[in-house]
Structure 1
Amino acid sequence: MKRHLLIAAAVIAAGLGIGAAAWSQSPYDVRALAALSDKELMKLPAKKLFSSFTTPASTMKSRPIGFYSKGCQAGAVALPVDGPAWQVIRLSRNRNWGQPQLVDLIERLAVEAKANDGWNGLLVGDMSMPRGGPMPSGHASHQVGLDADIWFKQMPDHRMTAKERENIKPEVLAPTRHSVDKALWSEAHARLLKRAASYPEVERIFVNPPIKAALCKWATGDRSWLAKVRPYYNHNYHFHIRIACPAGSTKCKPQPPVAMEDGTGCGKDLAYWMGNAPWKRIEHPPPEKKPTKPVKPPAPLTLASFPAECRAVVTAE
């Protein structure tokens, strides 16, 4: 009997692509995952594994697991693709999933910004995949259901078709590293960002450096909300909202609170980003010099690199 079980496990493993074929982009048959041993499951490349799921681990209680850039999510819920003040774009990605607290916040921001800030409605880009984890492209974070990208382009007056949502063109608010596009930048952008940063559950908002500089110039009165708005490259056509670990989420690893020397981040911290020295690229850094010989790409991260609780997430119904 034991020999037959071992043979069955080997057949399932082969069908899942464990081994030489494990790095192909075709999704796994997720129905077979529960039959794998822990040892075999932990060998699976995480990007391919998590991107194979089209549904959440809905039998599990909602909770983020791990850190924003290395984790997963249980009990995710989907942001409806259409709302009174928002539309989700690029639906083919299936990345409109998050923890209930994130979904509630996006819906609240959309409605309040439309009512008060001259913003016609939000275009919501990537949140997380149904079970979180690393995406096959585009992001280092967005893994635990607490991150979302909101475009700087206003929602159109009509409900877009799936094709329109897929092919929509962004408005690049900061075309250079030193300035915003004055033809596009408006006070409505500033009011939207201030509102988002003012919510207590929001921990950080990432924008390109010149957008932060424009906010520093615009803001009056209580400027403490500016500390949450962090300058960071690759955020010139959207802003990235990150909320804190929800209360009681014991498996969620928090990020250190923002602590700016001047209370706003408009001083020395921003000066670095607005200077002429090359930015230190933490994510996807360019090679220091062109290699003389072909460089073997590193092996992808496997499930073993992630919190142990993520095993239950990938085997849940």
Structure 2
Amino acid sequence: MIRTLMALSLMSALAACGSRPASDTQSSLTAVYASPVGGVVSSKSAKQLFGAQSRASAQSSAPFGSYARGCAAGNVQLAQSGPTWQAMRLSRNRNWGQPQTIDFIQDLSRKAARQPGWSGLYVGDISQPKGGPMLTGHASHQIGLDADIWMLPPKSLSLNASERESISSISMQRAKGAYVNGSWTRAHHEIIKAAASDPRVARIFIFPGAKVQMCKDETGDRRWLNKVRPWYGHHYHFHVRLSCPKGATGCVNQAAPPAGDGCADAQSWVNNILNPPPAKPRDPNAPKPQPKRELTLADLPNQCSGVLASR
């Protein structure tokens, strides 16, 4: 009886947000329990709830929360194909983002199409229709302001759905990411430079060897290099993260990168790849690390309940 009353209370609160819960959302929100510290949370993980959504919320566009703990109202779907881009892995239904993200991708694809050997861009994951945690893969990409751009120069922008599932990008790294390989070109440099030079962009994540190579090759204005940050993986694609839009009061920006071009930091990453520091011995008396707890709806900003319920 108590659980039923709590569920009805939560659904009433969602209705007060001006959104009518659909039957699948109602079912999810009916299965609730009282948390140890009080309050009501869904018994389903947030990734199950948001991963089940097939379309965006019928709300004004707004990101809520942070890149790895949030959701997105009013996401826009990137068209599957355009004159200078194609969305890949359509089965994932992750070609959704905030309007400025979709605009940015289209703008960057036109710049990429001017590079030798490039007809545009293959675009990987952006976000789910309502953002939020994903069933598989990324910890971020939750507020519609992240996008993965493939390193593979498009040979065709008329791939069918099956081809978009089977084709793969190509790796740019060698020596475990300490260096770029022979597939890296000046065009990659220029496309990433164009992305980092866009004022909407907060960061670009790429493997350390690529950042070091760009630092060596750039002979002009180096300010854009500050936004290019070394990170694990990211040798099949580079990850673009946009800043919170102006006026998006519910959106939490990541702290700004340290001042400078960041080239010394990238070189430190490479040095650690080539000469890894000795592993610290594990304390046998130390408690075993616990698996990371999955996020629930209660862990996300309050607005995410309304996003989830909105049709």
Q: What TM-score results when the alignment is normalised by the length of structure 1? A: 0.82
Relative contact order, higher structure (CA 8 A, sep 6+): 2
Give matches, 1:156-171, under 5 Å: 156-171=155-170
Q: Aligned to 2:72, what secondary structure does the other structure show?
A: strand
Partner of 1:205: 204
Contact 2:73 2:307 in 1 (8 A): yes
1:274 and 2:278 aligned? no
1:38-187 superposed matches below 5 A:
41-58=41-58, 60-115=59-114, 119-175=118-174, 176-182=176-182, 184-187=183-186
Superposition deviation, residue 223 in structure 1: 0.6
Task: Give 1:289 shift.
Answer: 9.2
Q: Distance in 2 between matches of 1:207 and 1:289?
A: 33
Q: Indicate conservation of the 8 Å contact 1:197/1:228, yes or no.
A: yes
Note the residue ranges of structure 2 that are not aligned, 5 or more in a row.
12-22, 34-38
CA distance in 2, matches of 1:222, 1:299: 44
Conservation of the 8 A alpha-carbon contact between 1:149 and 1:238: yes
1:30 aligns with 2:25: yes
Letter in 2 for 1:265: G
1:264 is aligned with what amino acid?
D
**Alpha carbons of structure 1 residues 126 and 134: separation in structure 2 relative to 1, 3 Å:** same
Number of the residue aligned with 2:16: none
Q: What's the TM-score, normalizing by structure 2? A: 0.83
Q: By how many angstroms is 1:131 displaced?
A: 0.6
Output the amino acid matched with 1:309: Q
RMSD of the TM alignment (CA)?
3.0
Query: Using a 3 Å threshold, how does the CA distance of structure 1 residues 136 and 127 change in structure 2: closer, same or farther?
Result: same
Query: Counterpart of 2:19?
Result: none
| Alpha-carbon distance in structure 2 between the residues aligned to 1:154 and 1:213 | 21
Q: CA deviation at 1:34?
A: 6.4
Greater CA drift, 173-182 or 101-110: 173-182
Q: Which moved more, 1:154-163 or 1:224-233?
A: 154-163
Q: Is the 8 A contact 2:179 2:209 kept in 1?
A: yes
Alignment of 1:157-306 (within 5 A): 157-175=156-174, 176-182=176-182, 184-260=183-259, 263-267=260-264, 269-276=265-272, 278=276, 297-306=291-300
Identity of aligned residues (%): 43
Q: Which moved more, 1:113-122 or 1:92-101?
A: 113-122
Specify the SS of the correspondent of 1:230. strand
Contact 2:207 2:235 in 1 (8 A): yes
Q: What code does the residue aligned with 2:141 have?
A: H
How much has 1:33 moved relative to structure 2? 4.6
Could you list the per-position Cα deviations for residues 60-106 of structure 1 after superposition, in whole angstroms to 9, with x for gaps in the alignment?
11000000010000000001010000001100000000000000000
The one-letter code sitting in structure 2 at the alignment partner of 1:29 is D
In structure 1, the residue corresponding to 2:180 is in which secondary structure?
coil
